[in-house]
């Protein structure tokens, strides 16, 4: 479990500090304020490698660079390893363009899975990516992690080690097709995971595997897994919508990493990990509002089933008011936390602030839009917001001109719905003016 991060002079803010909660951590903030960056740093702290360094085919998750190159930069972190809390402060070494590592064996945070927003995935497995012992000496000969570009999640991952290319993962298409052919536990587990991640239990909502299919008579000999939908018995997974593919990839990566980890641990005569950490960027990515509302709860439920004997920590970035609203029934300040990034005006420019916020229930989802999480002035169109701002200005004036009132009335008519609750206030204002004449 990751317990603490403290960044100085690195990334978008001069300083960022967060004391993470043990179960769920939600991160909100405008585009470009550092949500994905914080997840990259969390992954690095846990595994000590930047995803881009492990797999240059990624188009994000580069080594963190100091904000002001000539000033010292540090990343301090604390995590719960297998046995105890451990902390380290790493310094940036400009000459090497890298972060100074702790000497000796790294800490073991448990199984770490990072779902990036573009469909890349990174997995760090304590049974397969940890150090080997040769005699009494620790040597790092194993892979530093499994880092998949979006295409490699589907088609498989090859990794070159010591001049030899090894197939380290077959990918979703081949593995899932094989699981279906074997008719064993793996196919059942995939079906179960997909069902749990579905937007609801309703038959038309449930992600239900169909038969193996082909997508081309002449050009593609692969058997492609399919899904049943409300209108078809078999949509090849390659033709499925972006939302469905995102969730299928998530289901596969969660299952693949856990199954392979258990297998490796058994072969090594070790216990499976007692901690699982899931980092997930833009949790709502490609999902319809109905699905955005259920995905977080589904993930927590799934974790409980998949990792019965392990604790699970989720660190998720989101832009969705539905995700925050969906956490209201179960959010528990003892084990959950919400962090928000804001741009605070500062002279001519501004600076990024990271703050832990009190999570209070807001009920109506539009209340989330106007909360500190999303900072909208009005949960309406830009035109409606401008019209209401002008109307409120007039309401505050002692003697607003008739032309202004007519003009603003016209703007409101153009941008508000007939049933908008603002009409109540506006009509009252107009009636009181009529009465005063």
Ligand X SMILES: Nc1ncnc2c1ncn2[C@@H]1O[C@H](COP(=O)(O)OP(=O)(O)O)[C@@H](O)[C@H]1O
Residues lying near ligand X in the complex (CB under 6 A) are found at 11-12, 29, 31-37, 62-65
Residues of 155-165 as b/e, b for ≥16 C-beta within 10 angstroms?
bbbebeeeeee
Q: Where are the alpha helices (DSSP H) in 61-170?
A: 150-155
Q: At its nearest, how many Å lie between Mg ion and the CB of residue 117? A: 6
Q: Which does 32 bind (CB under 5 to 8 A by kind): Mg ion, ligand X, none?
A: ligand X
- Of 115 and 190, nearer to ligand X (C-beta) is 115
Q: At its nearest, how many Å lie between ligand X and the CB of residue 134? A: 34
Q: CA-CA distances (angstroms) from residue 101 to 8, 63, 106, 229, 329?
A: 17, 14, 9, 49, 41
Q: Which two tokens stand for residue 306?
A: 């998949």
- Of 33 and 327, nearer to ligand X (C-beta) is 33
Q: At its nearest, how many Å lie between ligand X and the CB of residue 11? A: 4
* H-helix or E-strand spanning residue 316: strand 311-317
Query: Which of 156, 154, 155, 124 is closest to 142 using CA atoms?
Result: 124
- Of 238 and 376, nearer to ligand X (C-beta) is 376
Q: At its nearest, how many Å lie between ligand X and the CB of residue 281? A: 7
Q: Which does 52 bind (CB under 5 to 8 A by kind): ligand X, Mg ion, none?
A: none
DSSP structural state of residue 239:
G
Q: How far apart are CA 137 and CA 134, in angstroms?
A: 5
Own/partner pairs, 226-233, CB within 8 angstroms, 24+ separation: 227/194, 229/204, 230/203, 230/204
Q: Which does 64 bind (CB under 5 to 8 A by kind): Mg ion, ligand X, none?
A: ligand X
Q: Which does 33 bind (CB under 5 to 8 A by kind): ligand X, Mg ion, none?
A: ligand X
Q: Maximum CA pair distance of the chain?
A: 97
Token look-up 């602030």 returns: 353
Q: Which does 65 bind (CB under 5 to 8 A by kind): ligand X, Mg ion, none?
A: ligand X
- Of 375 and 404, nearer to ligand X (C-beta) is 375
Q: Does 129 bind Mg ion (CB under 5 A)?
A: no
- Of 36 and 122, nearer to Mg ion (C-beta) is 36
- Of 21 and 317, nearer to ligand X (C-beta) is 317
Which residues in the 24-43 window bind Mg ion by CB under 5 A? 35-36
Binding footprint of Mg ion on the chain (CB under 5 A): 35-36
């Amino acid at each position: 479990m990751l317990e603490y991060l403290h960044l100085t002079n690195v990334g978008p803010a001069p300083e960022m500090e967060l004391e993470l909660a043990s179960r769920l951590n939600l991160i909100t903030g405008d585009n470009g304020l550092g949500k994905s960056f914080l997840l990259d740093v969390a992954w690095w702290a846990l595994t000590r490698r930047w995803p881009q360094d492990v797999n240059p085919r990624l188009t994000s998750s580069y080594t963190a660079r100091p904000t002001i190159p000539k000033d010292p930069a540090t990343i301090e972190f604390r995590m719960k390893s297998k046995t105890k809390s451990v902390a380290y402060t790493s310094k940036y070494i400009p000459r090497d363009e890298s972060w100074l590592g702790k000497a000796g064996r790294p800490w073991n945070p448990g199984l770490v899975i990072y779902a990036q927003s573009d469909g890349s995935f990174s997995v760090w497995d304590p049974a397969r990516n940890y150090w080997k012992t040769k005699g009494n000496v620790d040597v790092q000969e194993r892979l530093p992690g499994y880092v998949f570009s979006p295409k490699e999640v589907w088609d498989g991952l090859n990794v070159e080690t010591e001049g030899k290319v090894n197939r380290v993962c077959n990918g979703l298409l081949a593995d899932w097709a094989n699981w279906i052919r074997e008719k064993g536990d793996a196919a059942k587990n995939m079906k179960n995971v997909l069902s749990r991640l579905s937007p609801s239990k309703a038959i038309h909502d449930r992600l239900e595997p169909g038969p193996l299919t082909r997508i081309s008579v002449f050009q593609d000999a692969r058997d492609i897994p399919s899904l049943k939908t409300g209108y078809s018995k078999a949509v090849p997974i390659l033709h499925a919508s972006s939302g469905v593919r995102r969730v299928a990839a998530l289901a596969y990566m969660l299952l693949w990493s856990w199954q392979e980890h258990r297998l490796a641990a058994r072969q090594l005569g070790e216990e499976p990990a007692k901690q699982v950490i899931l980092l997930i960027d833009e949790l709502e990515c490609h999902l319809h509002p109905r699905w955005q509302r259920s995905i977080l709860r589904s993930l927590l439920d799934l974790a409980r089933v998949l990792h019965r004997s392990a604790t699970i920590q989720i660190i998720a970035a989101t832009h969705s008011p539905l995700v925050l609203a969906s956490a209201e029934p179960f959010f528990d300040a003892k084990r959950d936390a919400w962090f928000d990034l804001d741009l605070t005006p500062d002279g001519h420019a501004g600076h990024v602030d990271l703050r832990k916020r009190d999570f209070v229930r807001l009920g109506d989802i539009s209340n989330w839009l106007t909360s500190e999480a999303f900072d909208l002035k009005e949960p309406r169109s830009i035109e409606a917001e401008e019209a209401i701002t002008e109307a409120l200005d007039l309401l505050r004036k002692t003697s607003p001109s008739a032309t202004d009132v007519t003009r603003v009335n016209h703007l409101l008519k153009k941008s508000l719905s007939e049933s908008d609750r603002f009409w109540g206030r506006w009509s009252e204002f107009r009636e009181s003016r009529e009465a005063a004449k």
